[in-house]
Amino acid sequence: MRIVLLGPPGTGKGSLASLCDEKLSVAHVSTGEIFRHEIARGSALGKRVQQYVKNGRLVPDELVVEVMVKRLASPKFVKGFLLDGFPRTQKQAAGLDAALVKRERPLHGAVYIASPQDVLVRRLSGRRVCVGCSLNYHIRTMRPKKAGICDRCARPLVLREDDKPETVRKRLKLDAKNAAPLLAYYKARKRLYRVDGRGHIDTVYKRANQLFRKLGWVRALHA
């Protein structure tokens, strides 16, 4: 199963991707996580993307496509993958398609996780992320056992630079502008699916899993 998860920041793509990874064994890749990791370790790539990520601006299409296409060539993704946060523009979608078609492993579909705006703002401003393993928490709905500390690796939880309110507003605005043509791109190719992102993450996972099974993607994963 080769799919991309679409939807605004805060709609639960990351949490859903982690659950699919855990329950369906489909490797997931998040461009945001890749970039934050590279920035933290001070690599050449990290230095190139640092200012964009810090200011909530999109990293240039050519660079993101190059990074992702290279990464997806890894044997780890032979069975499939689930992409979170990529593509974000039509140009990135076309770049991804071109690379996958060339490898004779085309994308199965794009799954849009839909949530109303007020839900997004509430979720984003309360989100905390572990500095060690990038696991997401929420100050109201997904608290760690010990306040401010990751359950999994015991490192501190922080408010992401780009989850600060003014950056969140910028991200939602930018995302709305980019989302329409991206959705149109997959719709025109009859590969766009929609999952209701409201409610608890387990409920959203159930809805997504039902869709994946209906489309035969889960079977393809274990073939």
Strand order in the sheet with 127-130: 136-138, 127-130, 157-158
Residue 170 annotated among the catalytic residues of the structure:
no
Residue closer to ligand AMP (CB basis): 35 or 81: 35
Structural tokens at position 78 = 């032979």
Residue 143 annotated among the catalytic residues of the structure:
no
Active-site entry in 13, 36, 128, 191: 13
Residue 5's CB is within 10 A of a number of other CB atoms, namely 24
Residue 64 is a binding residue for ligand AMP (CB under 6 A) = yes
The interface mask with ligand AMP, positions 8-47, x = CB under 6 A, is -x---------------------xx--x------------
Binder of ligand AMP out of 57, 164, 198, 207 (CB under 6 A): 57
C-alpha Rg value of the chain to the nearest Å: 17
Query: In the bound complex, what is the minimum distance in angstroms from residue 67's beta carbon to ligand AMP?
Result: 9
Structural tokens at position 28 = 């997931």
Residue 105 annotated among the catalytic residues of the structure:
no
- CB distance 84 to 17 below 8 Å: yes
d(CA 195, CA 198): 9
Chain positions contacting ligand AMP, by CB under 6 A? 9, 31-32, 35, 52-53, 56-59, 64, 85-88, 92, 162, 171
